[in-house]
């Protein structure tokens, strides 16, 4: 088994930037359905974490600690820094700060997203990774996983249709948190894709399929990008199936595009994608308050913002994310056993 899917790491950067563009220039001015980029992250997360769990099994507690060490430190630091931003609106209340610090943003407990609003998906991912994905992967419960995916997406579609890309804090039917259902559907779908990947990998000679794979991956990636950009309602159902196709194809029989993404410049951008995702909203908010950027729409003044975001994210990855993760893991070492 390979150690890491570097081409999938690189994809994180592109989809993080889709979210950044939506939150800075406005969804209508960039990717109208760019909210589905988060569902791509969910699918990708389920796939790569399944790979890690099967390659190096560990206990549930240590897996939970590893996920906490990966996701929480930057979340808390950003929340602390946001206390320095002079914001006085109903969307920034003390109770919302504490709920965000407790990683409860995605549980449908808020009436509106507060503080570092993109972090709702981080709380969802932490919960689903620990309490849903781990037991499914540990038991290789394929049927249960398929039922969970169908039930989660089925409930969302039944409640609101296929246009659920901005359901980030709402309750469905008054009781079901839409963010959690999106997370379960995407992350568990990622597990199913990995099981399919294992089967396909044994039957496909990837070396002979480089050029056909290149055509498939370029077409699938282009269609996925278009489905995030267009307002045509006929494309509403496509982002998640296309996300699944891109992840499975690039991992199982990578073509030239995937091999390009395996190179260092792209993988390094992938490494800083979490910081990009977590830093961009407070950076844009502070820039807007001090009138450095417009509230919405394209502007040349956004270019320095994006360049600053990349620089800050690179520094965050090198001096905050990785050191904090290593420090916490040293407190409870992951004594993993080979598969």
Task: Report the pLDDT averaged over residues 74-100.
Answer: 87
Are the CB atoms for 43 and 51 separated by under 8 Å? no
- Choose between 336 and 42: higher pLDDT: 42
pLDDT band at 333 (very low <50, low <70, confident <90, very high): low
168 has a pLDDT exceeding 70: yes
pLDDT for residue 206:
60
338 has a pLDDT exceeding 50: no
Least confident among 12-21, 205-214, 322-331: 205-214
pLDDT band at 40 (very low <50, low <70, confident <90, very high): very high
Q: Give tens-digit pLDDT for 184-209.
A: 999 999 999 999 999 988 777 666 77
What percent of the chain is modeled with pLDDT above 90? Answer: 61
Angle at 68 between CA 66 and CA 74, to 5 degrees: 120
pLDDT for residue 334:
54
Task: Report the pLDDT averaged over residues 157-177.
Answer: 92
Give the pair of three-digit tokens for residue 272.
């800083």
Task: Report the pLDDT averaged over residues 13-19.
Answer: 94
pLDDT band at 336 (very low <50, low <70, confident <90, very high): very low
Q: Give tens-digit pLDDT for 241-274.
A: 999 999 999 988 888 888 888 888 899 999 999 9
Task: Report the pLDDT averaged over residues 39-43.
Answer: 96
- State how far Cα 292 lies from the chain centre: 28
pLDDT for residue 150:
97
pLDDT for residue 17:
94
Task: Report the pLDDT averaged over residues 218-222.
Answer: 91
pLDDT for residue 130:
95
pLDDT for residue 320:
94
Three-class SS of the chain: CCCCCHHHHHHHHHHHHHHHHHHHCCHHHCCCCHHHHHHHHHHHHHHHHHHHHHHCCCCHHHHHHHHHHHHHHHHHHHHHHHCCCCCCCCCCCHHHHHHHHCCCCCCCCCCCCCCCHHHHHHHHHHHHHHHHHHHHHHHCCHHHHHHHHHHHHHHHHHHHCCCCCCCCCCEECCCEEHHHHHHHHHHHHHHHHHHHHHHHHHHCCHHHHHHHHHHHHHHHHHHHHHHHHCCCHHHCCCHHHHHHHHHHHHHHCCCHHHHHHCCHHHHHHHHCHHHHHHHHHHHHHHHHHCCCCCCCCCCCCHHHHHHHHHHHHHHHHHHHHHHHHHHHHHHCCCCCCCC
Task: Report the pLDDT averaged over residues 142-164.
Answer: 96
238 has a pLDDT exceeding 80: yes
Average pLDDT of the chain is 89
Q: Give tens-digit pLDDT for 284-308.
A: 988 888 888 777 777 787 888 999 9
Angle at 48 between CA 266 and CA 249, to 5 degrees: 70
Least confident among 70-84, 96-110, 111-125, 208-222: 208-222
Q: Give tens-digit pLDDT for 91-123.
A: 788 888 999 999 998 898 888 888 898 999 999
pLDDT band at 133 (very low <50, low <70, confident <90, very high): very high
339 has a pLDDT exceeding 50: no
pLDDT for residue 109:
86
């Amino acid at each position: 088994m390979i150690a890491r899917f570097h081409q999938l790491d690189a994809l994180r950067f592109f989809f993080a930037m889709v979210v950044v563009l939506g939150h800075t220039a406005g969804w209508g001015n960039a990717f109208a359905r760019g909210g589905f980029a988060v569902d791509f992250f969910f699918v990708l997360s389920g796939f790569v974490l399944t790979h890690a769990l099967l390659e190096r099994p560990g206990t549930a507690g240590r897996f939970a600690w590893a996920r906490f060490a990966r996701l929480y430190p930057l979340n808390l630091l950003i929340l602390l820094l946001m206390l320095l931003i002079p914001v006085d609106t109903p969307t920034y209340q003390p109770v919302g700060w504490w709920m965000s610090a407790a990683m409860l943003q995605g549980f449908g407990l808020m009436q509106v997203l507060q503080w570092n609003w993109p972090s709702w998906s981080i709380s969802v991912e932490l919960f689903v990774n620990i309490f849903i994905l781990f037991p499914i992967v540990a038991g290789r419960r394929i049927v249960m996983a398929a039922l969970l995916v169908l039930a989660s997406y089925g409930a969302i579609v039944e409640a609101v249709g296929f246009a659920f890309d901005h359901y980030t804090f709402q309750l469905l039917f008054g009781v079901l948190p839409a963010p959690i259902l999106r997370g379960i559907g995407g992350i568990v779908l990622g597990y199913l894709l990995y099981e399919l990947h294992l089967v396909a990998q044994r039957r496909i000679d990837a070396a002979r399929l480089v050029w056909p794979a290149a055509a498939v991956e370029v077409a699938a990636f282009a269609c996925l990008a278009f489905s995030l950009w267009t307002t045509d309602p006929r494309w509403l159902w496509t982002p998640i199936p296309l996300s699944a196709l891109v992840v499975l194809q690039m991992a199982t029989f990578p073509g030239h595009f995937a091999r390009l993404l395996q190179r260092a410049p792209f993988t390094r951008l992938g490494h800083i994608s979490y910081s990009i995702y977590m830093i961009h909203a407070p950076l844009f908010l502070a820039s807007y308050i001090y009138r450095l950027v417009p509230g919405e729409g394209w502007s040349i003044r956004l270019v320095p913002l994006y360049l600053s975001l990349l620089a800050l994210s690179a520094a965050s990855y090198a001096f905050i994310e990785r050191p904090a993760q290593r420090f916490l893991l040293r407190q409870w070492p992951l004594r993993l056993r080979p598969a």
